[in-house]
Copies of this chain bind each other. A is one copy, B any other.
Amino acid sequence: MHITECIVSAPGKAILHGEHAVVHGKVALAVSLNLRTFLRLLPNCTGKVCINLPNIHTFLSWDVTSLQSLLPDQADDLKNAKELDMDLVPKLRSFIGVADGITDTSTMAVLAFLYIYTSVFAESRELPGLTVSVWSELPTGAGLGSSWSGTYSQVERGGDAADKHMGLSGEKIIHGNPSGVDNAVSTWGGILRYHAGKITPLSRVPMLRILLTNTKVPRSTKVLVAGVKDKINKFPAVMNPVLESIDAVSCTCQQTLSEMATEPTPEHYDVLEELIDINQHHLNVIGVGHPSLDRLCQATLGLGLHSKLTGAGGGGCGITLLRPDTSSSVIQNAIQEVKDCGYDCWETSIGAPGVQHHSPSSMKEEVLQLLNSL
């Protein structure tokens, strides 16, 4: 198997509407986030496989020959790579010297990488020397993950976006039992409707400018999800209609986005803003708000911009919709106000393309320099 240098990127993902409600069978809209994760694959002649993950301060390398010994003897065993080879994972754990139960980001990323690396090249019976560098514009651990494993698999398969199962395999290693939505958004980009296990890409969608804010308030998704369930059990007659209303917010938003694809008007943006405000209130009602998110909403509303939490809530990240005519001075003021709250803030967009190949000449200079420096 011949390996050539290549660079690919995958977008992050966010939830536009329907977080938490989706757990209770309601519609959610997942969107790609144009803060991208870049992956460069570089063949080398050192007989080593090297992995550089600067965002999580992880720089590791191993002799290819030592990894080779982990592969099963029979090539047959490797054929059906669509199913996760659960024997390989403990072997890899012991290879990198990490005990079962250790699940920090760095460990899981390395495991996912090695799993895919060995699986992809196992058929050729010869693991090549190569250096993989991954750098992401996304905040780490904020739940916005480009499926890194998705990005790995795309590059190693030559970026064939139709072949998503490897990304999902990596994700299964990291997350246990993912819905597949994250991987689908990172791969395909755009906006996806998710409902009762069914993923439907919206056929034509506008790209929307947003601010992404990371309040940096840590939270546990598991605890938040359990809290919502408790509230529903405590006040079913109060809470179930709220979930219904959130469902209608997602559906109304989907409808509005479809209309906007052909001819976006200021009124469409008014509706998007209203839906953002409504859902943010609903998310507070179901108990996943946080004072840090209230501050974000207030700070941006002071400049006429509308925000909501995205994802688990209870801190974490928020998105702020920008209109086509929002001036750059308003945007700069908003970013400054949000940063003055102590948060990180980026100007980006949602509905951006999925996995993309990049030629070094067309890359953003800063990203290329960063990858070259590793």
Contacts and interface: CB of A to CB of B under 8 A. Distances in A.
Contacts of A204: none
Contacts of A235: 248, 252, 274, 278
Contact of A281 (B249, B251, B285, B298): B285
A279 B69 CA distance: 63
Contact of A245 (B242, B249, B252, B277): B242
A252 B231 CA distance: 13
A199 to B, nearest CB: 22
A216 interface: no
A296 to B, nearest CB: 14
A278 B239 CA distance: 9
A186 B339 CA distance: 51
Interface string A236-263: 0111011011001101100000000000
A286 to B, nearest CB: 9
A106 interface: no
Contacts of A284: 277, 281
Interface string A335-363: 00000000000000000000000000000
A229 interface: no
Nearest to A242: B245
Given A238-B275, A245-B245, 16 more contacts: A235-B248, A235-B278, A237-B248, A237-B251, A238-B245, A238-B249, A238-B278, A241-B242, A242-B242, A242-B245, A245-B285, A277-B284, A277-B285, A278-B285, A281-B284, A281-B285
